[in-house]
Structure 1
Amino acid sequence: MRSRPKGAALAGEALSQELNRTCGDLTEADLESRLRLVERAAAEGVPTAAVWMIAEGPDGDPDALQTQGSDPLVQAWRSRALDYLRLAALKGDALALLSMANQYESGEGIVAEQNPALAMQYQVAFQRVDEANTGRKSWGADWEIAGLRSSMPPALAASAQAAGEALAAQILAAKAAPGGTR
């Protein structure tokens, strides 16, 4: 597996420090309410809410997936979080598509194991949807796809590429349809 930039972890730590500085007076009830609202937003398909839910972790503990992974409550949360993330990805949430790609590439987080083919499928879909949304080439996506492609047999890579293209086409067609999400 390729090593990933540490920038996201550093940004997450900086955000955590800023939240502690600005929101340090929140009560436990405030935090529980916030977690419920984030999950409710994810369940209702609010863009990026599923990604935020995953970042928060079960009961607000982002380490619980690693430290308490066999706990039935953590397993139930993991299942819900993955369902919400898939729903968001299918609705064309670019951040959810990218998160699915990263989850399957690393095999860490809410997915149970690495799956380079699914990682590539979601990475391809992310690239196409992001390019359609922004009108510009996705930065780094070609590099990610090439790395994933090199990690699997050519036939599997071709199948994953085709599945990603089909997923992107499905998402973009739904967005373009009358009443589709934009």
Structure 2
Amino acid sequence: MTQTTSQSESNWLEPTELEAARQRLPILYVDAIPVRVDAAGAVTSVGLLLRVTGQGDMTRALVSGRVLYHERVRSALLRHIEKDLGSFALPHIPPSPQPFTIAEYFPTPGVTAFHDPRQHAVSLAYVVPVQGDCAPQNDALELTWFSPEEVLQETVLAEMSGGQGVLLRQGLAHVGV
């Protein structure tokens, strides 16, 4: 583990501190759309996680999570991809990643297309090619690889919550799908 990672992991907020922070200021997140690409760089498949929400609903989800204090965005992306897809996912993230968009999640529905009832969050969103073996980890029940055409079907997008379906469409459009 690098020094930056160990410094970041020691900077988790206690649950009561996180709740207080969520009530007072936006929290920075990263969202990642894991994709498989062919030799020409064209997207051949898109990975979505299957999760159970706190309310017991099954949803499809992107890789997502907070950026910790004193953590580089690239390190946060790598950490969350490893946390959700496993240590053998082999993501390709450039040294200085550029998001395809910035999503603003609000606790009040309808302010933007993105909603998080817990907080106001700002998320830097990326499309991340992965080459290795991926397997759902932690609270993810399943990882399903969809073709670009399948993942954009309304039935799949309807399984996503909080506006992540909108983010998925934006990300795929950004890479020419």
* TM-score relative to the length of structure 2: 0.25
Relative contact order (alpha carbons < 8 A, sep ≥ 6): 1 or 2 greater? 2
- Radius of gyration: which is bigger? 1
* TM-score relative to the length of structure 1: 0.25
